[in-house]
Amino acid sequence: AEAQWNKELFEATDNEGVFKALGANTPENSEKVKLVAPDIAENGAVVPIALSTDLENVTMMAFLIPENPNTMTGMFTIPEGTEANIATRVKMAKTSDIFGLVKAGDKYYLAHKEVKVTLGGCGG
């Protein structure tokens, strides 16, 4: 079967647009969602990020970067038996919050972290 790619989702330019395309109600911020990202990006073209949670019944995890041209970066479907623990590397045009979105049961949860993209140079 042809894999599907949600065009509306990937054309959204802010978090609200992403939530709408997913048919998600406003997600709740949760301390149970752990987003790991560097404080300062070594390279804006390759920013390592990881998302995990100990929430039950997780079926979807996603990374959102609202300061990028398109907010939705990657969405992962988590089948039964797969752990709610994903890592990838992303491009960031400039300093931005990165959001980690998790669907557990029929509810959506969110965590965020600022990643600074800097020009570099100087040092002690």
Q: Which residues bind Mn ion (CB under 5 A)?
A: 124
E strand or H helix at 60, and its extent?
strand 58-64
In the numeric block, which tokens belong to residue 64? Answer: 């959102």
Minimum CB separation of residue 122 from Mn ion in Å reads 11
Q: Is 1 in the site for other proteins (CB under 8 A)?
A: no
Choice from 21, 24, 32, 50 touching other proteins (CB under 8 A)? 50
**Sign of torsion over alpha carbons 5, 33, 78, 115:** positive
Which residue do the tokens 């039964």 mark?
80
Choice from 22, 35, 58, 72 touching other proteins (CB under 8 A)? 72
Choice from 8, 16, 28, 42 touching other proteins (CB under 8 A)? 42
